[in-house]
Amino acid sequence: MDSIISSIKGQQRVVIENISPQLEAGRFVVKAFVGDVIRVEADIFLDGHDLLSANLLYKFSKDNKWISVPMTFTKNDHYEAYFTVLDNGFYFYTIESWVNQAASWEHEMVMKTKDGQHVNVELMVGANILETMVKIATKEDKPELKSYAKLFRDNKHYDEAVAFANSPQMHQWIHQYPDKQHVTIHKELKIWVDRERAAFSSWYSMFPRSASSEYNKHGTFKDVEANVLPRMKSLGFDVLYIPPIHPIGMQFRKGKNNSTTCSGGEPGVPYGIGSELGGHTAIHPELGTLNDLKHLVTTCKSMGIELAMDLAIQCSPDHPWAKEHPEWFKIRPDGTIQYAENPPKKYQDIYPLNFESENWQGLWQELKHVMMTWAEWGVRIIRVDNPHTKAFSFWEWVIPEVQAEYPDMIFLAEAFTKPLVMEQLAKLGYTQSYTYFTWRNSKRDLIAYMNELNGQSAYMRPNFWPNTHDILPYSLQGGTEPMFLIRYFIAATLSANYGIFGPFYEYMINEANPGKEEYKNSEKYEIRHWDWNMENKLTHIIRMTNKARVENTALQRTNNITFCDIQNDNILAYLKTAWNGNRILAIVNLDPYNTQGGYVRIPLNLIGKHTDEEYIVHDLLTEAKYFWRGEFNAIELNPQLMPMHLFRIEDL
């Protein structure tokens, strides 16, 4: 028992509780973006009637010194303060609070003086307070503090002393020179701050081997530079995401449409990683050299585009790791390496890594080495394939390890799985996450899902994809132009991060393998050929939407959305607002066949208008402008003409 009491700081009377932001009592790190203003709140109280003071303390991880911000009382023992995160990396923050005996004394002096009480003893207490201040005061203030302490103690000029005890100068000193005896300091919390691209990005995904202008020719990084980057630039995309670019294995290589037989000359699946030419740090020779890749990275950069590489933690049977580190795999009792299975299905072309390996540390270090190697090549975005089939503790370790050296590294989690697992990956450090958006189609589902995602915005940043190279959703199968316009548009305006798999998307290809949500003749298994200059109505809308995204701050965040009432289940209307006054109102007809209309109700308080005020809604897709007034305004959308408005709200 005596050991318990000796571990207690019994004189600490202030309690600091319920700090926000905070994720599960500090178990996980809250996330923010460079430039964010972080509002720190807490419940702070103590026993009895003494007054307390509290400071928010924060620092960038690379700085030594805490910066202190006085916290403001709001109500019910609740306090708040703000700080701005200006750098990419970790910030630390905490709260300190102490019994402000001097402020309590000041309050008592006021009450007693008003009451006409004799306060001689109280002045002596005041003298003690001033003498304590002397220890931390500036050189300039020290003599004055000492002389007032003497005035208080001497009892020679009582009226003068009482007057000074109630003076603004005394009040100022009390707050300038706090006596933090028995201060309570909360445990440190952390915020991870990402660069802007983590918040706002427009992804274009394609297979480099299909980038050639010539038929029947394996595309190269050079072809990507020549054909793909200009198209991306013209359409307004800023992240180029490519599937694995490593040597492809030969054993059990798959043919067209995932056939288990493969004719000679078929290119194989880029996810069958590794051959005698190397593994995850080698380049597939038909794509070019490592120098070609680095050149691609540089050219991208010069055009304001970033290259996102694809990390698939799995091997073909020909991967060097299978020979050099068989202990990283599951070994079957017959001595062979266990291939991937989803019984009764077998995937003999793929060896999964075994995260229960006795040499898991070696495996983790090697995987980190892969990412660090890519980072040395200039890559700062990694899309991770199926992260939910690798151990959580690995991600919790490796993401901060990589970001310790490259804080600008962005990780996108390609996990389409159970909600808690997707959330866990985000909590463990993933910068962005794929979502269920691909399968959310109705107004009701879209609103519910956006509200769910926004409840997770402290740790999970959605990236919306209407299609991917793995997924042609049922909603697009057999879809016509309006459907492709609609799905594209809502992805790009609901979420600040979105992407499409092209040119399949722009070509509006809607043919699937029967009964499955996957492309027929998918590029995963064969080389396709495209006209990289193709233009149609959809590419026009993409260009205009991406332009609007860049020019309108409100479209550069995801959780700033308010859905607007409209008595039509086919029309989705949403307002996005930004700190700088930018206001975007998107209205979409979700019905690709019929004209739909109604009266959309504008939340006037959010756009800063009163009931009878007129304002302009300026369609950024068509440049049309309309005068609207007040709360309810009529709209009608014919999907064959234009299924959406992208209005900027402008003042008259």
Pick from 62, 64, 65, 121: which binds a copy of itself (CB under 8 A)?
121
Segment lying near a copy of itself (by CB under 8 A), choices 8-16, 223-231, 316-324, 536-544: 8-16
Of residues 12 and 477, the one with the C-beta less far from a copy of itself: 12
- Three-class SS state of 232: helix
Instruction: Please report whether residue 99 would count as binding a copy of itself according to CB under 8 A.
Output: yes
Does 341 participate in binding a copy of itself (rule CB under 8 A)? yes
Query: Closer CB to a copy of itself, residue 6 or residue 567?
Result: 6
Q: Is 166 in the site for a copy of itself (CB under 8 A)?
A: no
Number of residues that bind a copy of itself (CB under 8 A): 68
15 binds a copy of itself (CB under 8 A): yes
Binding of residue 342 to a copy of itself (CB under 8 A): yes
Q: Which of 128, 105, 103, 120 is nearest to 53 (CA)?
A: 103
Residue that is written with structure tokens 């008259």 in the block = 652
d(CA 190, CA 92) in angstroms, rounded, equals 5
| Full DSSP string of 144-179 | HHHHHHHHHHH-SSHHHHHHHHTSHHHHHHHHHS--
Catalytic one of 179, 194, 223, 414: 414
Determine, following the binding rule CB under 8 A, whether residue 139 of this chain makes contact with a copy of itself. Answer: no
Q: Which 3 state secondary structure label does DSSP give 180?
A: coil
Among 332, 369, 516, 537, the residue binding a copy of itself under the rule CB under 8 A is 332
Residue 48 sits in the site that holds a copy of itself (CB under 8 A): yes
CB of 189 to a copy of itself, least distance (A): 13
The torsion angles phi and psi of 405, rounded to 5 degrees, stand at: -95, -35
Residue 246 CA to residue 281 CA, distance in Å, equals: 7
First to last CA, the chain: 74
Least distance from C-beta 73 to a copy of itself, angstroms?
12
Q: How far is the CB of 224 from a copy of itself (least distance, A)?
A: 33
Stretch that binds a copy of itself, among 86-94, 112-120, 130-138, 198-206 (CB under 8 A): 112-120
Does an H or E element contain 541, and which? helix 537-551
Cα atoms in the 13 Å half-sphere on the side-chain side of 327: 8
CB 292 within 8 A of CB 220: yes
Q: Any idea which residue has 């750098």 for tokens? A: 87
Q: Report in angstroms how near the CB of residue 141 gets to a copy of itself at its nearest.
A: 23
Q: Is 333 in the site for a copy of itself (CB under 8 A)?
A: yes
Distance of CA 419 to the CA centre of its chain: 17
- Residue 439 binds a copy of itself (CB under 8 A): no
Which structure tokens are listed for 288?
Answer: 């070019």
Q: Is 141 a catalytic residue?
A: no
Catalytic, out of 194, 306, 349, 385: 385
User: How many Å apart are CA 224 and CA 204, to the nearest integer?
Assistant: 12
131 binding a copy of itself? (CB under 8 A): no
- Rounded CA gap, 55 and 66, in Å? 11
| Nearer to a copy of itself (CB atom), residue 341 or residue 452 | 341
Residues 6+ apart with CB under 8 A from 36: 84, 85, 193
What is the Cα–Cα distance from 443 to 303, expressed in whole angstroms?
Answer: 37
The set of residues, in sequence order, having a beta carbon less than 8 Å from that of 87 and lying 6+ positions away, is 34, 60, 62, 193
414 is catalytic: yes
Whole-angstrom Cα distance, residue 501 to residue 488? Answer: 11
1 makes contact with a copy of itself (CB under 8 A): yes
Tokens 């690379």, residue? 62
Under the criterion CB under 8 A, does residue 12 sit at the interface with a copy of itself? Answer: yes
Determine which residue in the list 37, 67, 86, 111 makes contact with a copy of itself, applying CB under 8 A: 111
Q: 174, 38, 179, 24: which is closest to 96 by C-alpha?
A: 179
- Can residue 80 be called a binding residue for a copy of itself (CB under 8 A)? no
**Closer to a copy of itself by Cβ: residue 151 or 293:** 151
Q: Does 390 bind a copy of itself (CB under 8 A)?
A: yes
Q: Where are the beta strands (DSSP E) in 170-242?
A: 184-185, 189-194, 201-205, 239-241
Q: In whole angstroms, how close is the CB of 521 to a copy of itself at the nearest point? A: 28
Closer to a copy of itself by CB, 171 or 182: give it: 182
CB of 18 to a copy of itself, least distance (A): 8
Q: Which of 267, 262, 145, 278 is nearest to 209 (CA)?
A: 267
Instruction: In whole angstroms, give the CA distance from residue 37 to residue 20.
Output: 13
Q: Among 20-28, 189-197, 453-461, 513-521, which window interacts with a copy of itself (CB under 8 A)?
A: 20-28
Contact pick of 3, 8, 138, 652 for a copy of itself (by CB under 8 A): 8
Is residue 125 a contact residue for a copy of itself (CB under 8 A)?
Answer: yes
Q: Does residue number 424 form part of the binding site for a copy of itself (CB under 8 A)? A: yes
C-beta closer to a copy of itself: residue 106 or 310: 106
Within positions 23 to 42, which residues make up the interface with a copy of itself, using CB under 8 A?
24-25, 27
| 186 binds a copy of itself per the rule CB under 8 A | no
Taken in order 312, 316, 317, 320, the sign of the CA dihedral is negative
Give dist(CA 91, CA 544) in Å, integer.
Answer: 37
Q: Which two tokens stand for residue 194?
A: 């990402």
As annotated, the active-site residues are 385, 414
Residues that bind a copy of itself (CB under 8 A): 1, 4-6, 8-13, 15, 17, 24-25, 27, 43, 45-49, 76-77, 99, 107-108, 111-112, 114-115, 117, 121, 124-125, 127-128, 181-182, 332-334, 336, 341-344, 355-357, 360-361, 364-365, 388-394, 397, 401, 404, 418-421, 424
